[in-house]
Structure 1
Amino acid sequence: MVEAIPISEDSLRVSKPIVSVDNLTITFETFDGKITALEDVSLEIREGDTLGIIGESGSGKTTLATAIMGMVAENGIVSGSVKVKGEEVTAAKISGEFYRKLKRKQKKMLYEKLLRIRWKDVSMVFQGSMNAFNPAYTIEKQIGEVFRIHTKLTDEQIRRKCVEVVESAGLNRSVLKAFPHELSGGMKQRAVIAMALSLSPSMIIADEPTTGL
């Protein structure tokens, strides 16, 4: 005999997506003509999801990752959209070539919105760790900046947080006083991972995160 088990409303309730990509196409204007990096990509990522994207070099994996971060290059032509927790971060009217046409006030508003989202809601471990850091500043200065922008911690609390995050990535606290060029490739990559984890974001994008480790 089959017994019907009642299903509660809570069990049917599905969490809202952290990231929604809707029919995203990105084409870049180059000296050799237009190159389509992404074509009609749609996906949703919710809390607890793990998604792996595979493809050959140049297939658009990094382009998708940077689009989720709202970092489409200015030679990009965008259709479709990317939303993070309902906030549009990439779309034709605000990204790529259209970004250049925005007025200064519009650019400032967009920058402030993306600043709230990056690192706190979605963070990224970039493929090239050297390119992720400003060579003119120490590791502590750059990881600390994440806390200064997104929290109300004191300078002393920020220093302690910086120590915590680098040690959680398997690094000695001494790396905080170093400049990026003074670290090995593996140490830089661990520092990038530490920075991505610093605010315990809702989602982490890892673009070849084990490079150099």
Structure 2
Amino acid sequence: MPWAYNCFGEPRKAQEPVRRIATTLFGPTPDGEPGNDDLGAQSAWYVWAALGVYPATPETADLTVHSPLFERAVLDLPGSHDLDIRAPGASADTKYVHGLKLDGATWNRTYLPRSMVSKGARLDFTLEGNADTTWATGAKAAPPSYREGEHPFLASVSPSQAVVGRGESATFTVAAQRLGGEDRTLTVTAQAPAGLSRRPRRGAPTISTRRARPSIWPRSPTTSNG
């Protein structure tokens, strides 16, 4: 996903691989498309790559930008609106963005307003063959980040279920990976169904996440028929 670099303040590192992929893996030949394209996803990828905009965030109207491959492309939107993309001098070699104007105003961001998808706009790109290390590198230049419903940890239990007879027990192991936030420990709780009891194997079932890599800690409850 080359466009991830737009989120890190280094859009030039997104522009180079997008252009390289579009011009080396695609072509007007029988084998000019990589892999299997049953549903048209790869063809659509090329179209977006050539336009200079890409829907990087699913289920949103957000479009992130890179360098167009054509000097001009006009998208006919519903309601008599157009998205007019212009990039004078665009070619396979001019892969870096040095400037962008949105409806005539300077736009130093790597994403476009949502309203542009429905109301249209005019984009004017300035492209060069050398990388611009300053364009759209500020914190406010990055595309929107959505964190609603985000969880600080990703946890799983193995096995997902067990069958035990009278007097028998089963052990479950909890694996956890810290995804974000400041919390460094995860406390696990378990509730046994009627007829069963639970107990931690060693002390309180707490999972530490101080290690850089995800770790599996066998501190989950043990179920027994009690």
TM-score w.r.t. length of structure 2 = 0.24
Which protein has the bigger strand share? 2
Which protein has the bigger helix share? 1
- Higher-Rg member (1/2): 2
TM-score w.r.t. length of structure 1 = 0.25
Taking CA–CA contacts closer than 8 Å with sequence separation of 6 or more, which of the two structures ends up with the larger relative contact order?
1
